[in-house]
Structure 1
Amino acid sequence: MQASTPGFGLRDKVVLVTGASSGIGAATARAFAHEGAIVLAAARRAAEGEAVAESIRAEGGRARFLQADVTREDDIRRLVETAVADYGRLDVAFNNAGTDGRFAPFVEQDDANYEHVMNTNVRSVFWSMKHQIAAMLRSGGGAIVNNASMGALIGFQNAAVYIASKHAVMGLTKTAALEYFPRGIRVNAVLPGIIDTPFQDHVWGDEAAKQAFANATVAGRSGTAEEVAGAALFLASGQASFFSGQGLVMDGGYVTQ
């Protein structure tokens, strides 16, 4: 598997990707491997995650699957410890795992949905960055990219808890960036809009609703998981050495309207 963009400088970097069993996570794991990185692909779903890792290896890349549930701090700690024990360090992390929860009017939301969404989207990112930063400090630095969604910038009807969770991810991103940029760790986020993935299929429920939202973007289409992966690689690379605390919006122009 030959690197397609040598300027990214990611060859031999040790990269952890969560939520890597499908969609944006799988595409980003493949993209990092294509650039010559050593990829640890983590997800809850073992069969799907192992299939992603196997597809990377089949193309000559370096990848292994690690089963983990990001709502468990012990699982997150184990992911980081595995990277350090087996490869000597952790250079890059893409904290991508997340959930949409249940969309409903504000007054119909309940504690169960709140706990599920906040645990998956916020607490997991907090735990992930906590352990990732500690490991990166010991090895001289690194880069973290969080998946925050364009929902970190706007409100959206019937999605109060999800939107709150993504605003929180940007808050964590900015605070960690302020604390650790001077110590060699950059922390940024990608903010995708509607991306053609199984996640979006679940959010919208049917193809007509998803297409209507895609048509409402300036681009007039959905984005692709590969486009988000390209942004994540950029933010993780030396090309983004002056970026930290930023959210790179990838929404087809939706929030500019």
Structure 2
Amino acid sequence: MKLVRYGAAGAEKPGMLDDGGVLRDLSAHVNDIAGDVLSDAGLDKLRAIDPASLPAVEGSPRMGACVGGIGKFMCIGLNFADHAEETGNPFPDHPVLFMKANSAVVGPNDDVSMPRGSTSTDWEVELGVVIGKAAKYVSKEDALDYVAGYCVINDVSERHFQNNLTGTWTKGKSCDTFGPTGPWLVTRDDIPDVQNLAMRLDVNGKRMQTGSTKTMIFTVAEIIEHLSGLMTLHPGDVISTGTPPGVGMGMKPTPVYLKRGDVMELEIEGLGTQRQTVTEDA
């Protein structure tokens, strides 16, 4: 099942895609793709609806972030073996955690705006995991039972802010528009093996990132086990699980960064595509 949120920013409506790819309005059944709707019971109620009974949405509306009311936006750094190697970092002993501000979240095709003072804005295609029910001290064997579904995330990063402004990575990860999420939330039952999904990202039509979730150092289940041992994970929490090689910071001999007018296009197998144009804050 593919769930979406569509419409103007801040006024998105819930919807689903039918088997023919037609967008259907869910407003008569739920207020948002958030909270209890993400639980097993909530998703089962949506599965029981005949998509043909739902109104078709006309035209090509804007797609918002595929989950509303995000509580925590957690990100895992250096989690792909081939990406750690390209950046010259050793494999971590435990998942590297940083947070992205919720104010960074935008739709999958919204513009990405570089902040004032940006010199090194970079791209990162990542698998997003959306939590469906409260998770505390969860074992990796049971961890995927706590997942509502998966989505595409672009963990846009300002590397100067991230690495050279005193503090944590969060500074370079949390700028407005730095969290495109979607286009849709694919429920976990539709992804038979989350550890074997192809990933790619292009800039201006040139392939920059090619990878697969099979090279993750810590699997989705291991990440959930680790994080739920530190804090309770709640419905609507999002985990961005790391990026494969090919980021601008890792280009040799000279890093390559985004500039105004660049277009990023990214895709994860089975989870859809994103497209963002780069702009600049006034």
Q: Settle same-fold status: TM greater than 0.5.
A: no
The structure carrying a bigger strand percent of its residues is: 2
TM score, norm. by length of structure 2: 0.28
The structure carrying a bigger helix percent of its residues is: 1
Q: Does 1 or 2 have the higher relative contact order (CA < 8 Å, sep 6+)?
A: 2
TM score, norm. by length of structure 1: 0.30
Larger Cα-atom Rg: 2
